[in-house]
Amino acid sequence: MLELEDAVFFLRSYMGELDTDPEKLLVIEERLVLIEKLKKRFGQIGELGDLKQTLMQKLDHLSQLDSSIFTAQKELERLRAHNLKEADEISQERKWAALHFSLLISRELHSLNLPNARFEVQLLAQPLGPHGTDDITFLFSANPGYSPQPLQDCASGGELSRVFLAIKTHLAEKDQSTSLIFDEIDSNVGGQTAAILGEKFQALAKKRQVICVTHFVRVARCAAHHFLVSKKDSLTSVKKLSSSEQEEEFNRMLGKKG
């Protein structure tokens, strides 16, 4: 009888310790359901622990993201201020160089049978970019009374070639080009100007290869080698001329017979 009473006392004590809260039971059941879903999607319980660790690390990184962005923005502002300062210094140097370069090229063009030519380097402010804060445009005018306009909009083929020659003449020491090609650079020039063109070609040819397509004998005579370009139907041919063939071609260009 005593043993039975002890058993009843134990069971009552055990039942008193049991948590029979239905809400807590519901929470546990929902958690078990969630664990089963996670196991189906990501693997076994052990793998869920590794996944939790990885996700916690990512969460920690994201929680510090605002601080990282703030630091990066501060560094960006510092670099931008530095670059703007450098760009301003470069722009000041460009203004002086542009004026000097404009005068030199204009003077060179006067000797190339463009006595009224004006060449200018225009600098306009633009947002900071890879080349600074200057938008650079070459302006040109061949006739008096006309203000310089963008070179590509107003210069003829011959004028463009002469501007190109004038620029290349002054940049000969710094230019890295190995070959220069000129076409119709002698159009609408006189004999004296043609001689000047030939001399300039010879000077440039000491530093790099110069190829010139010309119909002017005084220009052609300055070349070290001569090639005759001819076209028949749709076939174009190029022939290197011997000394005697050169003279024959020169006479032909001058309109002389045999």
Quote the DSSP letter at residue 177: -
Which amino acid is present at 113?
A: N
pLDDT at residue 86, rounded to an integer:
94
pTM of the complete model: 0.61
Quote the DSSP letter at residue 184: S
Helix (H) or strand (E) holding 247: helix 243-254
What's the distance, Cα to Cα, between the start and end of the chain in Å?
Answer: 153
pLDDT at residue 19, rounded to an integer:
61
Q: Which residue has the higher pLDDT, 71 or 139?
A: 139
* Contact yes or no for 138/121 (Cβ under 8 A): yes
Predicted confidence (pLDDT) at residue 235 exceeds the cutoff of 60: yes
Mean pLDDT of the 72-101 span: 93
Q: What span, in angstroms and rounded, lies between the C-alpha atoms of 119 and 109? A: 8
pLDDT at residue 63, rounded to an integer:
79
Q: Which of 135, 118, 117 is nearest to 126 (CA)?
A: 135
Q: What span, in angstroms and rounded, lies between the C-alpha atoms of 214 and 166? A: 17
DSSP 40-109: HHH-SHHHHHHHHHHHHHHHHHHHTHHHHHHHHHHHHHHHHHHHHHHHHHHHHHHHHHHHHHHHHHHHHH
